[in-house]
Amino acid sequence: MSCFVLAVCVFVIILYIVYMLSLPDNYKTGLSSLYYFLAVFNWIVGAIDACMLFMYVRKLKELNEDYGKMVLIEAGTFIGSMAVSGGFCYYLGSDGINTLVTADRDGGRKAVYALVLMPVFCLTEFLPALAFAFTIKRWGKLRFDYTQE
């Protein structure tokens, strides 16, 4: 298992290096390729989370049933978040950035711009943060309950 975790860490570092080196020179014409890369990157991170979920949750449930459930909830939330974020980046790469920024934000339709970005923000940032806070709070209660026995 530790070999898999090490391989995942090396793989993610390589992805970040490729991302850093593939930033476009001209942001007017190269944004679509950047967003396509971010979409694939998000989907790969979600797939890595799914692999780790399938590998570790059963073992964690054997050690502590409640902790295994919390990890399952958090991992499911993060996998869904990566899928939504990847889909949104794919949309932005498919000329959605021009529609969203030029037509909606700069064109005076700020309500449409907000109605698109707020749910994406809630699904990709706020919901995972709430899941993380919930699991940390719950795990803290469990951890201190076990130390008092």
Per the structure, the count of domains in the chain is: 1
Q: Which residues of the chain fall below pLDDT 70?
A: 1-5, 22, 24, 27-29, 141-149
- Provide the token pair at 88: 């949104």
Give residue 83's pLDDT. Answer: 93
Tell me the C-alpha distance between 60 and 47, whole Å.
19
Q: 113 is in which domain, residue-wise?
A: 2-147
Angle, CA 36 vertex, CA 27 and CA 113 arms, to 5°: 70
Tell me the C-alpha distance between 106 and 73, whole Å.
39
Strand, coil or helix: 26: coil
User: Helices 65-91 and 31-63: crossing angle, nearest 10°?
Assistant: 170
- Contact present, 60 and 71 (Cβ < 8 Å): yes
Q: pLDDT (tens digit, 9 = 90+) per residue, 107-121?
A: 777 787 788 888 888
pTM above 0.75, yes or no: no
